[in-house]
Each structure stands twice: as structure tokens, then as C-alpha cells.
């Protein structure tokens, strides 16, 4: 790789990230203003100042604008460094808990908005579950890196994500506690507490 190509790649990576975030933000704004079902991908792309083709390079489906997140590497890294003697479920629960403490307030607010949209939109029922494959794969991979059997790692990761999805949607519906408390309670259960 020559220097000019390296510089171009770095510049493109920055542009990619900016475009990705602009699309996500435009989608959330429009989904809140007009509703998920009443907003088309062309409108999201226009609001973000890009073509619809560019939108689909970043987000393969309209649904992925709501369910895709960037927390997977953070959670996987936190699971990977958990003590070797911890059970799979405990490592997952405590890894996710540790990762959650690193999430910035703006990202928490965006998550709240996305959960609200999902909970209020009948066509998005099951969206979190459909969008969780990458998260399950990342978490299972972290467990395998710790020495776990692949099948057991995948089962544990899927169980944790299903439990967290249920807890997050229930929190959105009731908001009886704060989001941190709802997640903490779910992670206590999932980790065997």
C-alpha cells in the first residue's frame, strides 16, 4: 500500500463514519416526526444529503436504521477480558455491564429513541431479534476466544441478547425504573444473580 492510497483510505473511512451517523440521525428524526411506516428510505437519504443507493451501502434495510448499533465490539472486548473461571453467562452479563458504563450519554439517548420507535411500531415487532445476529456472533466469538465451545458460546450469547431485548422493550413500555436500573436488573438475572 503506497502512502497516497493509505491517506485516501483514511479520508474515506472518516467520510464513511460521518455519512453513517448522518443517515442514522436523519432516520431517527424522521421516524420520530412522521412515524416509521410513513417514512421512506428515499426521504431519509435526502435528509442526510446522500443518494438512496448510499443509504443501502450503510444500512441494508430500512429496519437496520433502527436496530443496528455500534456497541458490539465494545461488548465483545469487555467479555473477552473477563476472568477465565467465570461461567459463560456471568462473563457475558458482567462484560455487557462493563461495556454499558462506557456508553456516552448521547448514545444512550439515541438508544432510548430507537427503543421507543420499535415499541410503538407494530411492523417492527421482532426487529431487535432479527437485528441481533451480529451481536450474538460478536459475543459468542469473545467467549470462544476465552476457550468456550462454539455451540455453548452461541447458545449463551443468544440467551443473553434475547433477555436484554425483552428487558429493554419492557422498560420502554413502562419506564417504571431508569434504563440503567432495568439493564442492571436484567443482567443480574442473566448472570445467575
The distance between the two most distant Cα atoms of the chain, rounded to a whole number of Å, is 56
Alpha carbon separation from 162 to 26, 131, 154, 187 (Å, rounded): 28, 11, 12, 12
Which CATH superfamily does the domain covering 3-61 fall into?
A: Homeodomain-like (1.10.10.60)
| Tens-digit pLDDT profile for residues 94-113 | 999 999 888 887 777 888 88
The residue among 134, 191, 128, 137 whose CA lies nearest residue 160 is 191
Instruction: State pTM to two decimals.
Output: 0.76
Q: How is residue 160 annotated by DSSP?
A: H
Confidence (pLDDT) at 10: 46
Residue 193 has pLDDT above 50, yes or no: yes
Q: How confident is the model at residue 2 (pLDDT cuts 50, 70, 90)?
A: low
Residue 34: how many other CB atoms lie within 10 Å: 12
Contact 89, 143 (CB under 8 A): no
| Tens-digit pLDDT profile for residues 124-174 | 877 877 878 889 999 999 999 999 999 999 999 999 999 998 888 888 777
DSSP one-letter string for 33-44 = HH-STT--HHHH
Domain boundaries, the chain: 3-61, 69-190
Q: How many CA atoms lie within 13 A of 159 on its CB side?
A: 17
Q: Please tell me the class of the 69-190 domain.
A: mainly alpha
Residue 147's φ and ψ, nearest 5 degrees, are: 105, 5
The residue among 29, 173, 23, 18 whose CA lies nearest residue 113 is 29
Contact 104, 22 (CB under 8 A): no
Count, residues in the chain: 193
Amino acid at each position: 500500500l503506497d502512502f497516497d492510497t493509505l491517506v485516501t483510505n483514511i479520508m474515506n473511512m472518516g467520510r464513511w463514519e460521518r455519512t453513517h451517523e448522518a443517515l442514522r440521525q436523519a432516520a431517527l428524526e424522521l421516524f420520530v416526526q412522521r412515524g416509521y411506516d410513513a417514512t421512506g428510505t428515499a426521504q431519509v437519504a435526502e435528509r442526510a444529503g446522500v443518494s438512496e443507493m448510499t443509504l443501502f451501502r450503510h444500512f441494508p434495510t430500512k429496519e437496520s436504521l433502527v436496530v443496528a448499533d455500534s456497541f458490539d465490539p465494545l461488548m465483545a472486548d469487555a467479555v473477552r477480558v473477563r476472568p477465565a473461571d467465570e461461567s459463560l453467562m456471568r462473563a457475558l452479563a458482567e462484560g455487557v455491564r462493563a461495556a454499558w458504563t462506557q456508553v456516552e450519554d448521547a448514545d444512550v439517548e439515541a438508544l432510548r429513541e430507537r427503543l421507543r420507535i420499535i415499541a410503538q411500531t407494530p411492523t417492527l415487532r421482532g426487529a431487535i431479534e432479527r437485528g441481533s445476529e451480529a451481536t450474538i456472533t460478536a459475543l459468542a466469538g469473545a467467549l470462544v476466544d476465552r476457550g468456550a465451545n462454539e455451540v455453548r458460546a452461541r447458545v449463551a450469547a443468544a440467551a443473553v441478547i434475547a433477555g436484554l431485548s425483552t428487558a429493554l422493550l419492557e422498560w420502554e413500555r413502562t419506564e417504571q425504573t431508569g434504563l440503567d436500573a432495568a439493564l442492571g436488573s436484567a443482567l443480574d438475572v442473566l448472570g445467575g444473580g
